[in-house]
Amino acid sequence: MIKNDIINEVGEAAGVSRQKATQAVETIIEVMRQALARGERIELRGFGVFLVKPRKKGIGRNPKKPQDEVQIPPGYTIRFKPGKELRDLTEASAGQAPAEPPGSPETTPPDGTTNSGE
């Protein structure tokens, strides 16, 4: 799902124009972006928590020249911790086989035979 899909879903669910839905989604994203830039925690009950965490300094390597070491300075990173309801949803769906995307070929032909290569 991409931002345009979210905008379309918001517009349909709220019964508003695409322009209003775009403005709402963009505003929410911008408010969250500014809060994270200030180092604030964002808690969305039933969904999860966004945290800004410090990252230690480290040593990186150039994949083309593994003997070359590069100092990676300390900084900050953004982490997401899913809430209980979201974890429960994803765990429930993890027990099921993933849904086939629309238009994907079937693994078993309609006549029930299998293509085992024999």
Each residue's pLDDT tens digit, 13-49: 999 999 999 999 999 999 999 999 999 999 999 999 9
Which residue, 86, 89, 2, 102, is CA-closest to 47? 86
In a domain? residue 81: no
Quote the pTM value.
Answer: 0.67
Q: What is the pLDDT of residue 101?
A: 52
In a domain? residue 7: yes
Which residue, 25, 23, 27, 24, is CA-closest to 35? 27
Q: What is the pLDDT of residue 116?
A: 45
In a domain? residue 97: no
Give the total number of structural domains in the chain.
1
Q: Give 94's pLDDT tier (boundaries 50, 70, 90).
A: confident
